[in-house]
Structure 1
């Protein structure tokens, strides 16, 4: 059996792991590279094998860095099944359409305003190509052994992180392989704790926060303080929100604060159409999260949900103090860029980051103290106050990842640490070896192993 790491190794984006066994080829996730330009350019490169020769994709969850390359896979000849849970199918459809729309809009804008180095800027893929992925999805129930072939079975088990997210246990060639996907937190606001694996011959574990512990802070108190301070200064709070799950977590916490009378009665705005649609996925899949139907309906009433850009423009031009949740969470695209164009250079603006900021993204640069950022070919001075609330990350920290291994009844032959930048992955490797004595390896992009 051969396993090749063609994405999500040495970086937290572009997750793709290829398995070849007895003439059958499977891809675990098919994600988009984000962040550094050198990584983004990889999205335009062909896979090391023809998509038409891949028999199926097993999708851990619907985030862009795990599903965002599917339109290209299909357009380049893939005809197999994409196995995933029901919520993951719904979320992936939203994410892919949103991604395609943003790419088309940015290509058109680059062409009209002539800030691209390309004579005729093109999107990576179109809305039509994103829509073409839908027929290939094959929904499978969680916690159930599903036959992929006569010789391969897969079990999807809750990973927390976002709605529908799962780890995948594969049984093939008399071996058990476990792919973690992205592991959520044991004490997440909305998601249930991830299910721990009990058996694994080889384990492929994400390492996003492999060298960090989430601070033990009162995140509601932090939100309350930042919002009240900004509103007293007649400013605007902008929360770049990952449209799936983090946006709903922030909505829930803000609803609690407002219900408790701890934040003022001002406009609270959700300006991410995909986030609004993701809310319906929560309502349709109540067994996947902690909220009640009443919670969902009550918190949604608090927010103005924006559906078109004309409404975005009206909100931006209104100087009234407000709190805005807008995608994308790493400020790589989406409606949040329009808010930044207007507000990032205003001193009484507060930007609150609530999730992981990948290397090379605008979000990472702002957290590292950038004095200016580039948006649509123009530079803007950064005068807004920039904060991060780490306690709201959807990723488990180092301790969560170590805990996830605690139920194993056997000693894996190797734990491969993927989906992490090099330093966090290596620090997690040392921790795992010290705590459990497991052999660990940190593969690089393009590495291939035989087991």
Structure 2
């Protein structure tokens, strides 16, 4: 769809350059008379047609954006930053302290993988580009990092005379925040990714009560997470697999989910609900680095520092790819946590090749599985999956534990929005698949009496025209 342009320089506009009709590539513009701000700057992931958008010329001149605010460190929210800087962005990038540490880890890892993939493609000649190039390099990440600016939550940051913002914890992962802009006297609230009301490690999302405009994620806007006891559900699946002398493979997002699952397994062992002797391997260098970084931010957790450190003690961390092969060959049942969470790449694929064809083994899916990913294929009971050019039969047990999702479900999303209902905000839905967003739109109207609009890619919408300068407080 082509971009619809409005020429009035005196109005405030909203435009989504990503995460409009999809759950990935989050990039939103708040365009004001004094400054254009970008909220999140993520990569498109999932199906090929989405990933190819990462290579398109940026739909907005990078140098025209005056500031950027990052809600959290997941790749679909921060992964495009090095390329945006490469294209001319030079403004500050504001974020919470954990997000700053985690984003650096994630961006370095992403760049390194892209460089390795391009080198592999050139060695084997399977790229249609000659030579194959990475989307960006580690050097591009190094150029972007000095622009990172840490700001405290609940502390107002001024961008211009009539534009400021405040971060509020949103759950989801450590450091994740919603962003509330005071924009020419109006409150424009970007939800970011909203976390669970009850989490293994994180406090619930902040209770915000006033907004004129809300830009809201809808990842699980059409469904409810299981009401079953997550710990008991996981324990039962682990014990059943151990009884059958199988292995448990848990694909994890390296930031957030890996640490939460580690704590849950630690708790189950301490309570003797699963055997204390079963070995647990964390085979993700990025998850290990993220875990170490998070130990520096204990105030973001609901467990104390000692327990946070103890949950790492019973886990063997592997950072060497050669050791992965040894872990696979090691006899006896084991629990493996490995990235990526949607099985799009990483060490988890090596385990998947070995474990999928054997019915004794278990694959536990614990997070959102985007369209076009191997994780979605397994969740949809595909009989086989393709890995590195070869098909592998799915004989292992595949189970989903919805209670470990980092995203709020429909009821929790409605609860979050209901606190804002009294101010009757204009609501814009982003970060969700089309059918999911429409179901949530109807639910918002029926339960809260609020009309919600679904954002479209690259369509600029006018929010309001500021009052005359002398009347703006």
Q: Same fold (TM over 0.5)?
A: yes
- Tell whether the 8 Å contact from 2:421 to 2:450 is kept in structure 1 after alignment: no
- Measured after TM superposition, the shift of residue 297 of structure 1 is 2.1
- Measured after TM superposition, the shift of residue 119 of structure 1 is 4.2
State how far apart, in whole Å, the 2-side matches of 1:136 and 1:438 are: 38
Other structure's SS at 1:243 match: coil
Matched, 1:188 2:199: yes
- Measured after TM superposition, the shift of residue 447 of structure 1 is 1.8
- Tell whether the 8 Å contact from 2:162 to 2:185 is kept in structure 1 after alignment: no
Q: Deviations over 1:352-403 (max 9, x none)?
A: 0110111111100111111222222222222221111001001001111111
- Measured after TM superposition, the shift of residue 115 of structure 1 is 4.0
Matched, 1:86 2:105: no
- Tell whether the 8 Å contact from 2:34 to 2:160 is kept in structure 1 after alignment: no
Identify the range of structure 1 (353-362 vs 334-343) with the bigger mean alpha-carbon deviation: 334-343
- Tell whether the 8 Å contact from 1:13 to 1:419 is kept in structure 2 after alignment: yes
Q: State the match for 1:441 in structure 2.
A: 453
| Matching of residues 143-222 of structure 1 within 5 Å | 143-222=154-233
Aligned residue among 371, 379, 388 for 2:400: 388
Other structure's SS at 1:132 match: helix
- Measured after TM superposition, the shift of residue 246 of structure 1 is 0.8
Other structure's SS at 1:138 match: strand
Q: Which runs of 5+ in 1 are unaligned?
A: none
**What is the aligned length?**
451
Identify the range of structure 1 (63-72 vs 45-54) with the bigger mean alpha-carbon deviation: 45-54
Other structure's SS at 2:458 match: coil
Matched, 1:280 2:263: no
Q: Which runs of 5+ in 2 are unaligned?
A: 1-11, 464-473
Question: CA 1:385/1:106 → structure 2, altered by over 3 Å: closer, same or farther?
Answer: farther
| Matching of residues 26-105 of structure 1 within 5 Å | 26-105=37-116
Matched, 1:349 2:364: no
State how far apart, in whole Å, the 2-side matches of 1:381 and 1:108 are: 30
Q: State the match for 2:16 in structure 1.
A: 5
Other structure's SS at 1:133 match: helix
Aligned residue among 99, 121, 138 for 1:110: 121
| Matching of residues 238-257 of structure 1 within 5 Å | 238-257=249-268
- Measured after TM superposition, the shift of residue 140 of structure 1 is 0.7
Runs of 4+ in 1 over 4 A off after TM superposition: none
Aligned residue among 326, 334, 337 for 1:322: 334
Q: Deviations over 1:83-110 (max 9, x none)?
A: 0011110111111112122222233333
Q: State the match for 2:313 in structure 1.
A: 301
Q: State the match for 1:261 in structure 2.
A: 272
Other structure's SS at 1:77 match: coil
Please tell me the root mean square deviation across aligned C-alpha atoms, in Å.
1.4
